[in-house]
Amino acid sequence: MKYNYLSKNHYLQYKNLINSNITEGFFTNFINNVLNDNHIIMVLEDEEDIIGTGTILIEEKLTYGGCKMGHIENILINENYRKRGYGEQIV
């Protein structure tokens, strides 16, 4: 198992994992223009297959002394790999 940042070559597998009808153009635009150091999508791969994903959004706060807070979202695991602790590993 290995972790990687979501990239353009993950399109088909990611689309299937999240059960979405997003177009490759939308996906590529999202990778190029939305993801950054404060919006990260990671994928968990078994060999060459994406088996899970998770998103972290890092928000700079005006409150709490101007600290940064992370929001963990969209933890998804392929149904064939569930109940093995991979979701916890992503978090």
Residues 6 or more apart whose CB falls under 8 angstroms from that of 57 comprise 38, 39, 70, 71, 73
How many whole angstroms separate alpha carbon 37 and alpha carbon 14?
20
Q: What is the pTM of this model?
A: 0.88
How many whole angstroms separate alpha carbon 37 and alpha carbon 5?
11
How many whole angstroms separate alpha carbon 57 and alpha carbon 18?
18
**What integer pLDDT is reported at residue 65 of this predicted model?**
87
Nearest one of 63, 61, 85 to 71, comparing CA atoms? 61
**What integer pLDDT is reported at residue 64 of this predicted model?**
85
DSSP-assigned beta bridge partners for residue 1 = none
Q: What is the pLDDT of residues 40-79, one digit of tens each?
A: 999 999 988 999 999 999 999 998 888 999 999 999 999 9
3-state secondary structure of 85: coil
Say if residue 7's pLDDT is above 90.
yes
Rounded mean pLDDT of 4-29? 96
DSSP-assigned beta bridge partners for residue 71 = 57
